[in-house]
């Protein structure tokens, strides 16, 4: 298919939902760039997509759990492109143990939230020059597990439980989505979040052999295939039905309500400022 004049950047584009989304957007002729952790995986997936769609897929290898990695991804993309119409913040992971990044942040929070926040921040000028543009943040229904937001435990310094840290990061995705939507209300840039469902993506298999065994069995028995899990992401990226729609949370391509806590504007505003402080070196 001939290329369009639209450009998309997909983080976590070498596996699962991100990979399926990259395939789908490339089939539509959109100029796709994927971000993955290793150049080897990026090359493999980009060649697979090109062989299937006939369209070239660009790639950037970067560790998005670090501020340096996020900056490298943004800088590299800007060197290669003069516009960005679709930004899909999809990269994320679950960590069963508390790990601190080189910046001193808990890794779940750093990869699943600060990555979305900082990468979007760095690419906003490009998107402002490419309107209409769409930002899609992959969140999760796991956010509903957080009933109290503790700003004093964002690094897991008081207590740490892997699933709580993951749920917190997914709630942060929603605070970020809603706050950014309010800030962009007078622009032609929309931002929405989504719950992809339980998808067989290799999620959480990075936490040791026993954890890998149980998550792999669960995925085989209960999870959606990645192509189905990517449907809502693709819908938000491409569908004319959501043109101009912003500040919403979707599941199965339908706007639904997120948790009551996720709509707290005071927390959202404070988290925004806290995140700004964290990315300032």
Q: Tell me, what CATH number does 163's domain have?
A: 3.40.50.720
Q: Does residue 20 lie in a domain region?
A: yes
Q: Does residue 1 lie in a domain region?
A: no
92 CB contacts (<8 Å, ≥6 apart)?
12, 111, 112, 115, 138, 169
Strands annotated E in 139-219: 189-195
pLDDT of 229? 77
Question: HSE of 36 in the Cβ direction (CA atoms, 13 Å)?
Answer: 22
Q: How confident is the model at residue 79 (pLDDT cuts 50, 70, 90)?
A: very high
Q: How far is CA 266 from CA 165, 172, 185, in A?
A: 21, 13, 18
Mean pLDDT over residues 16-33, rounded? 96
Taking the C-alpha atoms of residue 140 and residue 161, their distance in angstroms, rounded to an integer, is 17
Mean pLDDT over residues 250-272, rounded? 98
pLDDT of 227? 59
Mean pLDDT over residues 210-239, rounded? 65
Q: What is the pTM of this model?
A: 0.89
Q: Which residues of 93-125 are buried (b: 16+ CB within 10 A; e: fewer)?
A: bbbbebeebeeebbbbbbbbbbbbbbbbebbbe
Q: Does residue 223 lie in a domain region?
A: yes
Q: Examine the pLDDT at 201 and tell me if it is beyond 90.
A: no
When mean pLDDT is compared across 114-118, 121-125, 206-210, 259-263, the lowest value belongs to: 206-210
The domain of 97 spans 7-279
136 with 236: CB under 8 angstroms? yes
pLDDT of 4? 67
17 with 90: CB under 8 angstroms? yes
Q: What share of the chain has pLDDT > 70, as a percent?
A: 88
- Mean pLDDT (the chain) is 91
* Catalytically annotated residue among 166, 178, 235, 249: 166
Query: 126-173, pLDDT tens digit by residue?
Result: 999 999 999 999 999 999 999 999 999 999 999 999 999 999 999 999
Q: Examine the pLDDT at 218 and tell me if it is beyond 60.
A: no
Task: Count the neighbouring beta carbons within 10 Å of the beta carbon of residue 271.
Answer: 21
Domain count along the chain? 1
Active site residue 166: yes
Q: Examine the pLDDT at 105 and tell me if it is beyond 60.
A: yes
Q: Examine the pLDDT at 215 and tell me if it is beyond 80.
A: no
Q: Does residue 2 lie in a domain region?
A: no
Q: Examine the pLDDT at 246 and tell me if it is beyond 50.
A: yes
Q: Does residue 225 lie in a domain region?
A: yes
54 CB contacts (<8 Å, ≥6 apart)?
1
134 with 180: CB under 8 angstroms? no
- Which two tokens mark 177? 């989505």
């Amino acid at each position: 298919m001939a290329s369009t004049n639209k450009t998309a950047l997909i983080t976590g584009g070498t596996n699962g939902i991100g990979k399926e989304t990259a395939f789908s957007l490339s089939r539509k002729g959109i100029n796709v760039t994927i971000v993955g952790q290793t150049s080897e995986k990026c090359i493999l997936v980009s060649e697979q997509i090109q062989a299937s769609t006939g369209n070239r897929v660009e790639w950037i290898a970067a560790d998005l759990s670090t501020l340096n990695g996020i900056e490298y991804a943004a800088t590299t993309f800007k060197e290669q492109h003069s516009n960005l119409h679709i930004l899909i913040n999809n990269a994320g992971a679950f960590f069963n143990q508390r790990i601190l990044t080189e910046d001193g942040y808990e890794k779940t929070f750093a990869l699943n939230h600060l990555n979305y926040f900082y990468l979007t921040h760095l690419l906003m000028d490009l998107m402002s020059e490419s309107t209409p543009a769409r930002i899609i943040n992959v969140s999760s229904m796991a956010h509903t597990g957080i009933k109290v937001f503790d700003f004093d435990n964002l690094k897991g310094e008081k207590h740490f439980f892997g699933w709580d840290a993951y749920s917190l990061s997914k709630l942060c995705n929603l605070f970020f989505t809603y706050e950014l939507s309010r800030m962009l209300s007078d622009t032609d840039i929309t931002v929405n979040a989504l719950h992809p469902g339980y998808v067989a993506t290799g999620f959480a298999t990075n936490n040791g052999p026993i954890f890998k065994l149980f998550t792999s069995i669960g995925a085989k028995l209960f999870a959606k295939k990645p192509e189905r899990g990517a449907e809502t992401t693709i819908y938000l990226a491409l569908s004319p039905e959501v043109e101009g729609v912003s500040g919403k949370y979707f599941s199965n391509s339908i706007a639904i309500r997120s948790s009551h806590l996720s709509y707290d504007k005071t927390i959202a505003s404070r988290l925004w400022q806290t995140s700004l402080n964290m990315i300032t070196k």
